[in-house]
Structure 1
C-alpha cells in the first residue's frame, strides 16, 4: 500500500470520542473504587475500561489504517483504464486510491459533504487531497445525492462505495441508491460496496435487478469499528453482460 499524502480525517468522529470518553470514565471509576477499597467494583470497572479502550483502539486503527489496507487489496483488480464512480466519496480515501491505479482512466466521486459522517468532510478537502496524491488530473468531484445520480445509463466501468449508503436513513432511500448504482454501471461492470449495515438488503436489491454474480464476505479485523460486532462486509457484484 502506498504512503498516503492527503488528510482523511476520522469516520463518524463522535463514535470515536464516545468510546474514548467511556474508557476514561470507567478507568477513573476503577481508580476511585480501589481507593475506597471496593475491590469487586474496581475490578469490574477496570475490565470494562480496558475493554472499551481496546474498542477505541480498534476503531482508531480502522479509520486511520485498516480500511486503507483492505481497499488497497480490493482495488488491485482494476486494469487502469476504467471509468470509476465512488458513491459517498468523502475526503477521497477510496476515490484517490483508485485514481492512483487509473493511469488511463478516470475516477469520479459524488457526495453531499456532511461532516457528521466524516470529520472535515468538504469538497475543498477532497480536491486538496487529490492534488496532494498527484491525481487531480484524473479525478472529478460532483456534489449530488446517490439516490438520484446525475449520470447516464452504463456510464461507469466500476462503482465503489465505502461506509456511505448506510447513512441514508430510510430503507427505500438505500434501495434507490443501489438501484441507481446498478443503472449507471455498464453491463459487465464491477461493483464493490463496503458497509457495516444493510449489505444483505443491498444484495437482495441487486438480485431483484437480475444480478446473479453477487456475493457478500467479511472484510476482516482490519475493518472493525471497535470489534467484530461492528465488522464490515464487502458486497461484490458483476452486472450481467448485455
Structure 2
C-alpha cells in the first residue's frame, strides 16, 4: 500500500544497489569466487527497501506527535512529494486548518512524483479541503513573512547540493514561520550540524537534534536519517 500510494524514494539508487548486488553475486557463484561485496549491496538494497516502504512511515508517525498541531494550524510541507507526511498532518487538522504542500515534482527524488498523483492521494483520503498543492522552489518561497504556524520538510533539503543555496532554503523556511511556530526537518546526508547551526543563528530554540536509527537507514548506517526541530520565539529575536 505504501509503495502504491507514495512510491519509492530515490528509485535509481535502490535499483543500482539491487542490480549490482545481484550481478556480483551471480558472477561470484558462476566463477566460484568469494565476493562479499555482492552480499553487502544486496543487504543494502533490502535495508533501503525497508526504509522507503516501512521505516520512514514509522518516523513520520512519531514526528506528528512532536508538531503540537492545532485544529486551525496553517502548515507548510516543503518537498512534499506524493504526500506521505503531508496527508498525516492534514488528518490532524480541522476545517479551519490547512497544509500547503510544495514541490518541484522531480521523479529522480521519488518515483512518479507528480502533482496530479499527490492530489489523487489527497482526494482519495478525503482531505481535499485541508490541502493546497503548489509548484515552487523552496529556496525562494513565494509566501509573505510569518505565514505558517508549522513548517516541515522530509527527505528533501539534502537534494540541494550547493551548501549556500541549501542554507538559504532553511532560512526561507524560518522566514515564513510565525513567531511561536515550529520548524521540523527530517533528512539524510551529513547536514545535521549545519541545520542546527542555522537554527541557532536564527534564534530558534532547538527542540530536537538527533539520529533516527535503523528505520532511517538508506542502505547503510553511513546514510542514516535525523531530525532537527526548533521553535521560533514568540517575540522577534531572529537575526
Q: Structure 1-normalised TM-score?
A: 0.90
1:163-218 alpha-carbon deviations (Å, 9 max, x no partner): 11111121111111111100111111111101112221122112111223354101
1:87 equivalent in alignment to 2:78: yes
Asked if structure 2 preserves the Cα contact closer than 8 Å seen for 1:154 and 1:186, the reply is yes
Q: Which moved more, 1:98-107 or 1:159-168?
A: 98-107
Question: Match for 2:18 among 2, 17, 20?
Answer: 20
Which aligned pairs between 1:67-86 and structure 2 lie closer than 5 A?
A: 67-77=56-66, 78-86=69-77
Deviation at 1:5, TM superposition (A): 9.8
Question: Match for 1:33 among 31, 34, 41?
Answer: 31
The structure whose Rg is larger is: 1
Asked if structure 2 preserves the Cα contact closer than 8 Å seen for 1:87 and 1:110, the reply is yes
- Structure 2 residue runs without a partner (length 5+): none
Which aligned pairs between 1:48-67 and structure 2 lie closer than 5 A?
A: 48-67=37-56
Which aligned pairs between 1:92-111 and structure 2 lie closer than 5 A?
A: 92-104=83-95, 105-111=97-103
- Count matched residues: 231
Q: Structure 2-normalised TM-score?
A: 0.92
The ranges of structure 1 where at least 4 consecutive aligned residues each deviate by more than 6 angstroms after the TM superposition are: none
1:43-86 alpha-carbon deviations (Å, 9 max, x no partner): 3x1x3222211110110111111101111111023333311110
2-side partners of 1:190 and 1:6: how far apart?
31
* Partner SS, residue 115 of structure 1: coil
- Structure 1 residue runs without a partner (length 5+): 35-41
2-side partners of 1:112 and 1:24: how far apart?
33
Alpha-carbon RMSD = 1.6
